[in-house]
Amino acid sequence: MKFLHLSDLHIGKTVNGFSMIEEQRHVFRQVTRYIQTEHPSAVVIAGDVYDRAAPGIEAVRVFDDFLTELSREDMAVLLVSGNHDSPDRLNYASRLLSDKRIHMRGVFDGSLRSVTLADGYGEVNFWLLPFIKPTSVHGMYARREIESYDDALAAALESASIDYTERNVLVSHQFYTKAGVTALRSESELNPVGGLDAISADLISAFDYVALGHLHGFQTVGYEHIRYAGSPIKYSLSEWRQEKSVSLVELREKGSLAVTALPLTPLHDMRTIKGKIDVLTSDSISSQGDRDDYLRVVLTDEEEIINPMAKLRSVYPNVMALDFDNSRKGVDAGALSANSDKIDSLSPFDLFSEFFLETSGAVMSEEQSEIVRELLETTEDQ
C-alpha cells in the first residue's frame, strides 16, 4: 500500500511579515500532481493544518480548495490536529466528511480509533491520534495517573486494542525523542519550555510506520519507520538549508517498508547572503540568484549605512531579515530610521518590526513576531 505523508501545513502562516499563502497553493498543486502519478491509497496529514486556532478567511479557502482536490482522487484522506490547530474547529463536519473517505480527527475523546484500508497483502489500520497534552487527557482515564506526556501517550495507546500482528500505522503530532538521537529543530515550531513535551519513541516502535508531525525538518526518530515528514515549506530562516518534501510510504507484506522523499519546490526559495551592501546589490551578484527569494542578509560593512533595508529591498523585494557582522556588531539606531513618507504606507506590524530593529539592533524572532501579531489583532478587534 502506498500513501503520502505530509504534516505541518501551517496554512495562513506569515514568516517575518510575509504571507506564505501563494507558496502554500504552489506546493499543494505539487502534492496533487504527485497523487495523480503515484496513485496512493491515502494522504496522511499529521497535524498543524492551520497556523493558528482561528485561521483567517484566505487560509480556510486554501484548505477548502486543497481538500476538494484531494477528494477528487480515488483515495482516503486521514488527518489529525496539531498543537497549532483548534481541535473543535478542525473536527467540524468530520462525521459527514467520513462518508467521502475524508477522516479528520480533530478532537481526542480518550479512545484511539483507526481507519482500516486494504490492499493485496491484507488490511492496514491507520490509528489517528490528535495532539494531546497531559492536562487535556487528565480525567479521561480514571484508573491512571497522567503526569507526563509519556503517561498521556501510553494511556491513549492502551485505550485501543491494537493487534500488532497486523499492519499498523500511527498518525501523531507530538515531540518524540530517542535517547542518543539529536532532533533537528526549527524556530517555526512552537515549543513548551524545556522539552517537557518529549515522548519516548520506544513507546511507538511496535507500529509498522509512524507518520509524525510537529518537527519541521524531515527526519527519523531513532527508528527507520518513525518519521517526521517535515513542513512542505521553509517556515523560518533557520530552515533555509533544509530540502522540503512529501514522504511517499510503501508498505508491502508485514515488515517491508520503503520511504521516498518526493521533493517540493517553492515559488521563492529562502536563503542567506552575506557581504558588503554595494557588492550584494550589484548587478553581477544579484543576478546570480532569484532576486525574489526570501533572504536573510548579513552585512559586513564597517561604515554606517543609511536605511540599509530600503536599499536592499530595492534590489531584493523579499528581504526578511537583516543582520550585521562587523566589528561594531551592534546597530546604530539612527542609521536605520524609516523615512517619514514611508511610514504611512507601512502596516502597523511592519512599523513595529522596524522600530524593534532600530531599538534593539536585532530582527524579531518568529516567536516575538507572533506575540506582536496577536497583540495587534486584539487591538484591531476592539
Cβ contacts of 52 within 8 Å, gap of 6 or more? 12, 84
Residue number, 23 or 48, with CB nearest to Mn ion: 48
Among 3, 31, 43, 48, binds Mn ion (CB under 5 A): 48
Least Cβ distance, residue 186 to Mn ion (angstroms): 9
Residue number, 81 or 114, with CB nearest to Mn ion: 81
Least Cβ distance, residue 350 to Mn ion (angstroms): 25
Residue number, 134 or 217, with CB nearest to Mn ion: 217
The type of residue at 283 is D
Segment near Mn ion (CB under 5 A); pick from 44-52, 116-124, 153-161, 326-334: 44-52
Give yes or no for a contact between 200 and 226, defined as CB atoms under 8 angstroms apart.
no
Segment near Mn ion (CB under 5 A); pick from 30-38, 46-54, 86-94, 318-326: 46-54
The interface with Mn ion within residues 275-304 (CB under 5 A) comprises none
Residue number, 48 or 208, with CB nearest to Mn ion: 48
Distance CA 15, CA 366 (A): 7
Segment near Mn ion (CB under 5 A); pick from 2-10, 116-124, 267-275, 318-326: 2-10
Least Cβ distance, residue 84 to Mn ion (angstroms): 6
Q: Could you tell me the strand order of the sheet in which 2-6 lies? A: 102-105, 76-80, 42-46, 2-6, 245-251, 257-263
Residue number, 114 or 174, with CB nearest to Mn ion: 174
Bridging pattern class, strands 167-173 and 245-251: unpaired
* Nearest one of 255, 250, 253, 232 to 242, comparing CA atoms: 232
Least Cβ distance, residue 85 to Mn ion (angstroms): 9
How many residues in the shown chain lie near Mn ion by CB under 5 A? Answer: 2
Segment near Mn ion (CB under 5 A); pick from 3-11, 92-100, 248-256, 333-341: 3-11
Distance CA 147, CA 331 (A): 46
Residue number, 105 or 167, with CB nearest to Mn ion: 105
Least Cβ distance, residue 131 to Mn ion (angstroms): 10
x/- track of binding to Mn ion for residues 201-220 (CB under 5 A): --------------------
Least Cβ distance, residue 213 to Mn ion (angstroms): 6
All three cell numbers of 129, joined, read: 491520534
Instruction: Give the burial class of 228: count Cβ atoms within 10 A of its Cβ; 0-12 exposed, 13-18 middle, 19 or more buried.
Output: buried
Residue number, 149 or 316, with CB nearest to Mn ion: 149
Give yes or no for a contact between 26 and 66, defined as CB atoms under 8 angstroms apart.
no
Among 3, 5, 8, 171, binds Mn ion (CB under 5 A): 8
All three cell numbers of 74, joined, read: 480515488
Bridging pattern class, strands 319-324 and 219-220: unpaired
* Nearest one of 144, 116, 145, 149 to 134, comparing CA atoms: 149
Segment near Mn ion (CB under 5 A); pick from 8-16, 164-172, 278-286, 293-301: 8-16
Distance CA 38, CA 202 (A): 31
Residue number, 216 or 225, with CB nearest to Mn ion: 216
Residue number, 3 or 235, with CB nearest to Mn ion: 235
Segment near Mn ion (CB under 5 A); pick from 45-53, 140-148, 294-302, 365-373: 45-53
Segment near Mn ion (CB under 5 A); pick from 43-51, 53-61, 99-107, 134-142: 43-51
Residue number, 229 or 280, with CB nearest to Mn ion: 229
Nearest residue (beta carbon) to Mn ion: 48
The interface with Mn ion within residues 81-100 (CB under 5 A) comprises none
Distance CA 350, CA 343 (A): 9
* Nearest one of 127, 106, 228 to 170, comparing CA atoms: 127
Bridging pattern class, strands 42-46 and 76-80: parallel
Distance CA 261, CA 218 (A): 9
Q: Which residues bind Mn ion (CB under 5 A)?
A: 8, 48
